[in-house]
A and B are shown apart, each in its own frame.
Chain A
Amino acid sequence: GAVVSQHPSRVICKSGTSVKIECRSLDFQATTMFWYRQFPKKSLMLMATSNEGSKATYEQGVEKDKFLINHASLTLSTLTVTSAHPEDSSFYICSASLGLGSTDTQYFGPGTRLTVL
């Protein structure tokens, strides 16, 4: 149980275009989903927390208008990188939890590698 999928696994796009990444919890309902960014050989950096049906909470320094997050259902959250630039190239990982607060375990998707040319 507790499987989270991400699509696509890899995407290459041109500078200035927008890219959407989907995160789905396959066998449980995820009240809360999280989006992380990971640079090579570095740790995970939390970008935002999203709760189903409400606006995402962004971490300090993360541009809301650049990284649009939608959590429209209990099994799906999307991250859209708008007007992507080469510096947005990174590995993006989502996770999902039941939303029980500090008692909860996050289950991670396999990640999406974004390359902006």
Chain B
Amino acid sequence: AQTVTQSQPEMSVQEAETVTLSCTYDTSESDYYLFWYKQPPSRQMILVIRQEAYKQQNATENRFSVNFQKAAKSFSLKISDSQLGDAAMYFCASTSGSRLTFGEGTQLTVNP
């Protein structure tokens, strides 16, 4: 079975600082995708960033970037220049066919 593990239930960061959220996964798939989704208090799931497993280059989206270590099955999210609006629950997810398997989430607090 596919598993996704987020070992940090809660993290906090000062506004304008950088924070890294950890994620490890286990899959038997040869072709898969990895995602980070953000769920603010509104509970709307928002796609933050996506990584194709066959690409060695780490994905970036403005202040968000990933450190993808395929051999270690690690997929961490770095948020630079943190903003108050980044406060949310962050979920790491991986694909198995068309299905998504989610981690348990990391609650990020941004302190002014």
Contacts and interface: CB of A to CB of B under 8 A. Distances in A.
A42 B52 CA distance: 26
Contact of B98 (A99, A107, A108, A111): A99
B45 interface: yes
Nearest to B32: A102
A103 B33 contact: yes
Interface stretch (A18-26, A65-73, A78-86, A90-98): A90-98
Interface residues of B, number: 25
Given A42-B104, A43-B102, A97-B98, A105 B43 contact: no
A105 B102 CA distance: 14
A96 B40 CA distance: 20
B102 A101 contact: no
A108 B102 CA distance: 14
A104 B98 contact: yes
B47 A107 contact: yes
A110 interface: yes
A44 interface: yes
A37 to B, nearest CB: 12
A105 B99 contact: no
Nearest to A2: B47
B37 to A, nearest CB: 8
B83 interface: no
15 contacts: A32-B98, A34-B100, A38-B43, A44-B45, A44-B102, A101-B98, A102-B29, A102-B96, A104-B98, A105-B33, A105-B35, A105-B50, A108-B37, A111-B43, A111-B44
Interface of B: 29, 31-33, 35, 37, 42-47, 50, 52, 91, 95-100, 102-105
Given A107-B47, A108-B37, 17 more contacts: A34-B100, A43-B104, A43-B105, A44-B45, A44-B91, A49-B98, A93-B43, A99-B98, A101-B97, A102-B33, A103-B33, A104-B95, A105-B35, A106-B100, A108-B44, A110-B43, A111-B44
Interface of A: 32, 34, 38, 42-44, 46, 49, 91, 93, 95, 97, 99-108, 110-111
